[in-house]
Amino acid sequence: MISDDTARAFVDQWLADWNAHDLDALLAHYADDVVFTSPLAARLLPGSGGVARGKAALREYWTAGLAALPDLRFEVLDHYVGVGTIVIRYRNQSGGVVSEVLEFDGDVIVRGHGTYQAG
Q: What is the pLDDT at residue 52?
A: 97
CATH assignment of 4-116? 3.10.450.50
CA distances from 104 to 3, 64, 85 (A): 13, 25, 6
Whether pLDDT at 118 is above 90: no
Distance, in Å, from the CA atom of 45 to the CA atom of 62, rounded to the nearest integer, reads 10
Residue 112 buriedness (CB in 10 A; 0-12 / 13-18 / 19+)? buried
pLDDT digits (tens, 9 = 90+) for 47-83: 999 999 999 999 999 999 999 999 999 999 999 999 9
Domain chopping of the chain, boundaries: 4-116
In this prediction, residues 81-95 reach a mean pLDDT of 97
